[in-house]
A and B are shown apart, each in its own frame.
Chain A
Amino acid sequence: MQIDQERQDKKLTLKVSGRLETSTAPDLQKVIDHELDGITELKVDVKEMEYVSSAGLRVLLAATKKMKAKGGIMTIHHANEEVMEVFEITGFNEILNIR
């Protein structure tokens, strides 16, 4: 998995590519823990994400809650079929802001 960051004022875009799963989710968690100071808009671009497992969902859920708690918003963009399938099965399509 690879995470590319693009920052513009209070906006942060994370391009997460590859597999978001048990072995890689901690890397995304680290970014969420350390890079969100002053950020009000977090965009997670998953265009190049192959799939997401429940370990990845956990991080996406925590990040969405964190952004909401500080009055900001996290949105998810360009989810492919495999990623959407997981969001739909788990009901995450209703609780994440999928664009």
Chain B
Amino acid sequence: MNQPEHSGTAPVGRERKTNRTKRIPAELSRLEAVQTFVEEAFVGETVSEKDICRLLIAFDEIFSNVCRYSNAAEVTVECYMEENKAVLVIEDDGTAFNPLERPQPNVEKSLEEREPGGLGIYMVRKMMDGGTYERKGNRNYLSMILYSQREKQV
């Protein structure tokens, strides 16, 4: 659970990993640095490499959407493990927007009919095992979860 970061006995890095939060300006130029942060938060946990890729894709899609369309000034990213789930929470102070309720794009269109865009959020919904959205005050809270591989095989 939430232990102090500077506990002298247990390995410090481990505790900090359990629940890591980062607050950043909603600017695309920050994307890469925050992805490194997300990756480091989950490496070494019971999250497969493949699932780390999925989490990084999800972060790319949601964060870039927030930066481009939401008028948010700030984004807070939280990464934590809860039992056998990896949880990635993205919080922003932009326009109310629930990505989980977006209509699904038609993914059966031909090459000629395909237009760029609209696929990112759809990918996130398909790749994550679950998610919740909440609007609290003037902030969006999107929480995405992935069960660890072991859990999925049961």
Whether the pair B32, A58 counts as a contact (CB closer than 8 A) is: no
Whether the pair B61, A54 counts as a contact (CB closer than 8 A) is: yes
Q: Chain B contacts of A53 at CB under 8 A?
A: 57, 60-61, 120, 123
**Chain A residue with Cβ nearest B117:** A58
Q: Mark A54-82, 1 if CB is under 8 A from B, else 0.
A: 11011001101100100000000000011
B8 an interface residue at 8 Å Cβ cutoff? no
B28 an interface residue at 8 Å Cβ cutoff? yes
Whether the pair B56, A19 counts as a contact (CB closer than 8 A) is: yes
Task: State in angstroms the CA–CA spacing of A16 and B122 once bound together.
Answer: 24
Binds B, one of A3-11, A37-45, A87-95: A87-95
Whether the pair B116, A51 counts as a contact (CB closer than 8 A) is: no
Whether the pair B120, A54 counts as a contact (CB closer than 8 A) is: yes
- The contact size tier of chain A is 20 to 34
A86 an interface residue at 8 Å Cβ cutoff? yes
Q: Chain B contacts of A54 at CB under 8 A?
A: 61, 117, 119-120, 123
B126 an interface residue at 8 Å Cβ cutoff? yes
Residues of A within 8 A of B (CB): 19, 21-23, 50-55, 57-58, 61-62, 64-65, 68, 81-82, 85-86, 89-91, 94-95
Given A54-B117, A90-B122, A90-B123, 7 new contacts (CB under 8 A): A52-B57, A54-B119, A54-B123, A57-B119, A64-B111, A89-B122, A89-B126
